[in-house]
Chain A
Amino acid sequence: RKEVEQDPGPFNVPEGATVAFNCTYSNSASQSFFWYRQDCRKEPKLLMSVYSSGNEDGRFTAQLNRASQYISLLIRDSKLSDSATYLCVVDDMRFGAGTRLTVKP
């Protein structure tokens, strides 16, 4: 089992749709979790941290399920500008392979 695994994607959704990604991790002792966004041929940038109680930032909601060892990212009311690859990161240095999202008009 890989240390960090993500939904393979790609996800192709219409504008305004709600889309969710999951990311599973293998180390039950993991302490920190993040979602990064990476645009084509660009560097990753932090989208949001994932806290134990879950957290929301505008249209984005991140949740952590320690019992099942996964984190999730929910995007509501998708915009064209949300098209990107979303990377989950566990314990600072363990990246998932990414989930590619394309939002279409």
Chain B
Amino acid sequence: NAGVTQTPKFRILKIGQSMTLQCTQDMNHNYMYWYRQDPGMGLKLIYYSVGAGITDKGEVPNGYNVSRSTTEDFPLRLELAAPSQTSVYFCASSPDGTDYEQYFGPGTRLTVT
């Protein structure tokens, strides 16, 4: 049982480049989330989805886009990368929203230079 998988594990981008962070879960969870974690800080919600075809902004959505065409996949798109987007990105899923555990992927470490 793979759980939540994320690719790539590491990536270095130049300013202005774009990329997509992949996230897949095999637990048939409805809810999926994208967070970023800056050094020494907690997680900040970027976007979330309550089911296929539905996405909503979180606390820090600027500079990012998401889509949810299937239950399993929730890719995060970075357009015009900036140094402020250097961070660790975690994808998570849960069966439902409130009251349910979130299962996290191993993270993607992104550096923008």
Chain B interface size band reads 20 to 34
Q: Tell me the complex Cα distance, A4–B104, Å.
A: 20
Q: Which residue of B35, B43, B90, B99 contacts A32 across the interface (Cβ within 8 Å)?
A: B99
Instruction: Report the interface size for chain A: residues with CB under 8 A from the other chain.
Output: 21
The answer to the question of B48 belonging to the interface, with a C-beta cut-off of 8 Å to chain A, is: yes
Inter-subunit contact B48/A95 (CB<8 Å): no
Inter-subunit contact B98/A91 (CB<8 Å): yes
Q: Tell me the complex Cα distance, A64–B63, Å.
A: 36
Which chain A residues numbered 25 to 46 have a C-beta less than 8 Å away from chain B?
31-32, 34, 42-46
Inter-subunit contact B99/A93 (CB<8 Å): no
Inter-subunit contact A45/B42 (CB<8 Å): no
User: From B44, which residue of chain A is reached at the shortest CB distance?
Assistant: A95
Inter-subunit contact A43/B90 (CB<8 Å): yes
Q: Tell me the complex Cα distance, A46–B41, Å.
A: 18
Inter-subunit contact A93/B106 (CB<8 Å): no
The answer to the question of B45 belonging to the interface, with a C-beta cut-off of 8 Å to chain A, is: yes
Q: Tell me the complex Cα distance, A46–B106, Å.
A: 14
Q: Give the chain A neighbours of B100 by CB distance below 8 A.
A: 92
Q: Which residue of A42, A43, A49, A87 contacts B42 across the interface (Cβ within 8 Å)?
A: A87
Q: Tell me the complex Cα distance, A94–B58, Å.
A: 10
Given A42-B106, A43-B105, does the pair A93, B90 have CB atoms closer than 8 Å?
no
Interface positions of A (Cβ within 8 A of B): 4, 6, 31-32, 34, 42-46, 49, 87, 89, 91-98
For the complex with contacts A32-B98, A49-B101, 13 further pairs of A-B residues with Cβ separation under 8 Å are A6-B42, A44-B43, A45-B104, A46-B101, A49-B99, A87-B42, A87-B43, A89-B102, A92-B94, A92-B97, A92-B102, A97-B42, A98-B42
23 contacts between A and B (CB under 8 A): A4-B42, A31-B99, A32-B98, A34-B101, A42-B106, A42-B107, A43-B106, A43-B107, A44-B102, A44-B104, A45-B104, A46-B102, A49-B101, A87-B43, A92-B94, A92-B97, A92-B98, A92-B99, A92-B102, A93-B33, A94-B45, A95-B42, A96-B42
